Amino acid sequence: MKKLIVGALLAASAFSVQAENIELLNMATFVVNPEATTIGPKFKNTPERRAVYGDQVATLLLKNADKLASKYLDMNDPMAYNAFLVMALTVPMHEGFYVHFRETANVESECVDYKSKYKKLGGKAKKEFKKHLVKGSTPFLVKCSKVDEDIPTVTSIMRAILDGSDIGMMQISVRWHYDVFLAQRKFESVEKTIDYGLRHLMKGFDPIYRKSNEHTCLTDNGSFSYQNLVRATWGGFYNGGSVGQACRFSGVGHANDRAFKKNLDKTLAYPETGLLGYNQDLRLDLTPTVKAAVVEVIKNLRNGTDNRSAINKLLKK
């Protein structure tokens, strides 16, 4: 009888681990050194953790975006404000599935380390990756073989699928952002990563907005399109690297721009679909107060309205 009980417990444990695992994230994360510093919420696919994780992430995104975009309210342009907040809700979903850190069971078969991707890097990117992420007395990333098998769970961080050169929820490139993001170890913190990524987005959003007359793609059916401003900021600046490429999305169609448009449409449809995320497995579950703020911001952008009771209530928390 004892053997049957032990066997049943082992089978139940294995099922639980499998149920918690989201395979899409296995191919998009690096295991973090268990001794390294990690600050902020960690995604874990359990009902208890998801019940609070969505609120934590959505609140961080909206509060940090508000700090940067409130100047547009002072300029009497609430649509620009709402456009930036909707972009803040969309970019980290498109880039990193709303996941910066992920916690999973310590299962060797699901562990992915930096080694194979590191080989694909070269030049400055490889040098900075090595310097800030895999060197030092307590390296941030370690090989799976270095993780003690007795540790029940491990933390991993989102990374670029192809070569690992982009890190975290905002997919900050180690090629270009080594002097502050890497050097100041902002990747250790969810909020600091969000803040850094949103500040970088603003470096594209604001100049495109202020010189909108130079970008014909921002006009749609004779009116200024704030949704196109979001697309221009991500496609031209954040992904393309230049404000001068703001209208890239309006040409023959860059594959990256088409993918971003699909995710922007998902965000804009949230009030009807209830899906805030890449798919159901990677959605953010929100409590009524946070959901009301998210819905209000989205509807403001869609409808050209300026309702701020729900977002102001969230910002005061």
Residue 260's pLDDT is 97
Distance between CA atoms of residues 301 and 27, nearest Å: 34
The predicted model scores a pTM of 0.92
CB burial readout 100-116, b (16+ within 10 A) else e: bbbbbbbbeebbbbbee
Residue 1: exposed, middle, or buried by beta-carbon count in 10 A (0-12, 13-18, 19+)?
Answer: exposed
Residue 317's pLDDT is 84
The tens-digit pLDDT sequence of the chain (317 residues) is 334 444 443 444 444 555 688 988 988 999 999 999 999 999 999 999 999 999 999 999 999 999 999 999 999 999 999 999 999 999 999 999 999 999 999 998 788 888 888 878 889 889 999 999 999 999 999 999 999 999 999 999 999 888 888 999 999 999 999 999 999 999 999 999 999 999 999 999 999 999 999 999 999 888 999 999 999 999 999 999 999 999 999 977 789 999 999 999 999 999 999 999 999 999 999 999 999 999 999 999 999 999 999 999 999 98
Residue 194's pLDDT is 98
Residue 15's pLDDT is 46
What does DSSP assign to residue 64? H
Read off the tokens for 145: 């073989």
Residue 18's pLDDT is 59
Residue 79's pLDDT is 98
What does DSSP assign to residue 311? H
Residue 82's pLDDT is 98
Residue 163's pLDDT is 82
Residue 17's pLDDT is 55
